[in-house]
Amino acid sequence: MEITDKLLQEFKDRMHFTHKGEDSNLKELLSFSIDDITRKCGAFNIEENKGAKELVFERTRYAYNDALEYFDKNFQSQINSVGFSITMGTTEGDPDAAI
């Protein structure tokens, strides 16, 4: 998936990055994170699934800080939850979602 400038800027805003020097590296890390979360949870639209976007941003943060080995353990509950919601065809904020 190609990383849009909007998605990159959202991540940079979250991380409080103002420089552009690492944009290509951040885009690559975001792309790797999307691929990883897709493998673990299933296909999703990053603009519509807030839980999946959160996981992508958190995994990218861990990768950026060279702490990726801790991500799966620390976010296992969220990974399971997002994977379940994708499997069931629901997204966060869906009023028709089963509780």
> Are the beta carbons of 62 and 70 closer than 8 angstroms?
yes
Question: Is 17 a member of any domain?
Answer: yes
What global pTM score does this model have?
0.88
Domain count of the fold of the chain: 1
In a domain, 97, yes or no: no
Asked if residue 38 belongs to a domain, the reply is: yes
Answer whether residue 98 is part of any domain: no
pLDDT at 92: 55
Q: Is residue 35 part of a domain?
A: yes
Please report the pLDDT score of residue 78 as a whole number. Answer: 98
- Asked, for residue 93, whether it belongs to a domain, the answer is no
Q: 76 in a domain, yes or no?
A: yes
Cα 56 from Cα 38, distance rounded (Å): 9
Which pLDDT does position 89 carry in this prediction? Answer: 87
For 76, the domain range is 5-87
Q: Residue 16, Cβ neighbours under 10 Å: how many?
A: 6
Q: So what's the pLDDT on residue 38?
A: 98
- Residue 64, in any domain of the structure: yes
Tell me what pLDDT residue 23 has. 97
Chunked into runs of 10 residues, the chain (99 residues) has average pLDDT values of 94 97 97 98 96 98 98 98 92 50
